[in-house]
Amino acid sequence: MPVEVKFTYAKAFGVKITNYGGYAYDSNFSSGGRLYVIYNNSTNRKVYIGTTSDVEKRFKNRLRGLREFGFSQSELNAILIMVIKLEKREMSNSNFNPSPPSDKGLINVNCSNVKLDVEKLLIATYMNKLGITLVRNTTKTLGFRNDFTQKLIWSLIDETGRNLFGNGVKEVTYSLNSGELLP
């Protein structure tokens, strides 16, 4: 039985400056463990992939930093934050279940003692499948190996309506056999 993981891009956020000089997101974050991708079109390393066990708290702190450094609205317009829900199943005929990542980007897999590093898997996917050769991450960029005895299948699903994968594609699916390396 393969291990299957769904990365659902559930929501996209921008940052705005209010009339009173306050900094705010244009939508509310939910609490809980999530992966996230931050795009910034104004740099040549356009993508950062992160993980947190509490996405609401993480981005509250990040907002304070933006305000203190005083970035302007035009600088903030280049930023888009995507929050990703994780689900997993280990039996083909069962349902996918929520599987929030830890602060280290790991999720439990019942059939193995090894945890699945979903953050590392997503970084490797961007660098090898989605054409983003340079990311802003400084760790976990050396590829991903399937350390399970089972095949690993993962899908990226765009529910943001922002055409994240181009050409109107809403879902992309990849797989790795046991022991196989990406790239």
Partner 1 sequence: MKIRVTYEVTDKITVQLTNYGLYKYSKSFPKAGRLYIIENQATKRTYYIGTSQDIKERFNSRIRSMTEFGFSDNQLISISIYVIQVYSKIGRQLLKPAPPNDSGKSTVYRIRLDVEKLLIVTATKFFGQNVRNANKFDSFKNPYDQELVWEFNDTKGHLFSTHKWKLPGKGKFPDK
Stretch that binds partner 1, among 61-69, 94-102, 105-113, 165-173 (CB under 8 A): 61-69
Q: How many residues bind partner 1 (CB under 8 A)?
A: 26
Enumerate the β-bridge partners of residue 76. none
Residue 117 and residue 103: Cα distance in Å, rounded?
Answer: 11
Closest by CA position to 15, among listed 76, 61, 103: 76
How many residues in total does the chain contain?
Answer: 183
- Considering only residues 73 to 102 of the shown chain, the ones binding partner 1 according to CB under 8 A are 75, 79
* Interaction between residue 53 and partner 1 (CB under 8 A): no
* Interaction between residue 129 and partner 1 (CB under 8 A): no
Alpha helices in the chain (DSSP H): 55-69, 73-76, 118-128
To partner 1, the closest distance from the beta carbon of 165 in angstroms equals 20
Among residues 1, 91, 111, 134, the one that binds partner 1 under rule CB under 8 A: 134
To partner 1, the closest distance from the beta carbon of 33 in angstroms equals 17
| 183 prior amide bond cis, ω within 30 | yes
To partner 1, the closest distance from the beta carbon of 98 in angstroms equals 24
